[in-house]
Structure 1
Amino acid sequence: MDEDTAPEVRGGGSAGGRDRDEDGRARNARPRDGLGRPLPYGTAGVARQPEGVVRTPAATVAEAQRLLDAGMPFHAHEVFEDAWKSGAAPLRPLWRALAQLAVGLTHGARGNARGGARLLRRGAAGIEGWARGPDGAPRPCGLDLAGLVRWARGLADALEAEPDRPLAAVRDAPRLTAAG
């Protein structure tokens, strides 16, 4: 994040202080690693996703896929969260479920197998109805929702079966759209 888009830090890192933006809203300005974990103030982290970006559905999917491919599921979660909070009402539950898949992958990669599996299953359940489709109409945004449900449940099963095994799935990001 560059200086022009970074939140103003008031009291960040000090005892009892909180990071706040120019409107006084709490904003954590600590640097983060590639999986979104906070690092100590002054440490070099990875660039953060800007908050509140309004994208088209196609741009949301493209940016989230780019971040997933780069092994940054936490950042992909933030892209889906922006769409969930600012997008058209009919698609908000879908964006929320996709955000849950990305944060489930994040937790699994951080070593939280139980939490990761739970969020992957919750996200899969949230998009399952969209994957079936009542009339066989094209899926929103070209998303391969049935494939994502299979991927998420398979990864949740793997996390539960071997909770102490390091998660390599971050390097094998899910494909959001059908190959074509």
Structure 2
Amino acid sequence: MSDRDRDEEGRARSARPRDGLGRPLPYDAVGAPRQPEGVRRSPEETLTEAQRLLDAGMPFHAHEVLEDAWKSGPEHERELWRGLAQLAVGVTHAARANTTGAAALLRRGADTIGPYAGNPPHGIDITGLRTWAQTLAGSLHTGHEPPPAASIAPRLRG
């Protein structure tokens, strides 16, 4: 029998609180409020909530909101939401000083959303996000103080 934390369906879920960058804290610590999983939101609600979290310096939590859209959205938009979630995780890694992981995810996210540039859905600034991601990925340097997440957060819509 495993002593891992489990949800109601028996899936492994860490009950440890997390900080604003998603790092686990001791069980008795007060962490950032967690985003509920599996919430179905409209694209407008998803973008508004993800932007709020990015602006608050909580890109890990923004990624969870975008991941819900990726997993529950229409098939033709799944790669869009997956790419946006990758960008949020890239910001998370940059703020955690994982420059290699950050650069890889920022570039992967930029590539993933690229096919939507010709007809950007929901007012998302695909071209601006791709430029932002490539620029940030190229500016990250090992050994430097990591930037605060809110200071490098993108604008999802133009």
TM-score range, shorter chain: over 0.9
| Change over 3 Å in CA distance of 1:126–1:169 after alignment to 2 | farther
Name 1:111's counterpart in structure 2. Answer: 97
CA deviations on 1:103-123 (whole Å, 9 max, x unpaired) are 011011101000000000000
- Unaligned stretches of 5+ residues in structure 2: none
Pick from 150, 154, 160 the counterpart of residue 131 of structure 2: 150
Q: Secondary structure at the match of 2:150?
A: coil
After superposition, where does 1:151-166 map in structure 2 within 5 Å?
151-159=132-140, 162-166=141-145
- Aligned mates of 2:82, 2:11 — CA distance in 1: 23
| Change over 3 Å in CA distance of 1:44–1:78 after alignment to 2 | same
- Aligned mates of 2:44, 2:24 — CA distance in 1: 30
- Check conservation: 2:58, 2:150, Cα contact below 8 A: no
TM-score, normalisation: structure 1: 0.84
After superposition, where does 1:41-56 map in structure 2 within 5 Å?
41-56=27-42
Name 1:19's counterpart in structure 2. Answer: 5
- Aligned mates of 1:129, 1:169 — CA distance in 2: 30
Instruction: Give the CA RMSD over aligned residues.
Output: 1.3
- Unaligned stretches of 5+ residues in structure 1: 1-10
Deviation for aligned residue 1:169: 5.5
TM-score, normalisation: structure 2: 0.95
Question: If each structure's helix is expressed as a fraction of its own residues, which one has the higher value?
Answer: 2
- Aligned mates of 2:149, 2:12 — CA distance in 1: 30
* % identity of equivalent residues: 62
Q: Secondary structure at the match of 2:16?
A: coil
Name 1:32's counterpart in structure 2. Answer: 18
Q: Secondary structure at the match of 2:143?
A: coil
Q: Deviating runs (4+, > 6 A) in structure 1? A: none
Name 2:59's counterpart in structure 1. Answer: 73
Which has the bigger relative contact order, CA under 8 A and spacing at least 6? Answer: 2
Pick from 25, 47, 55 the counterpart of residue 61 of structure 1: 47
- Aligned mates of 2:60, 2:143 — CA distance in 1: 21
Deviation for aligned residue 1:167: 3.0
Match for 1:175: what amino acid? R
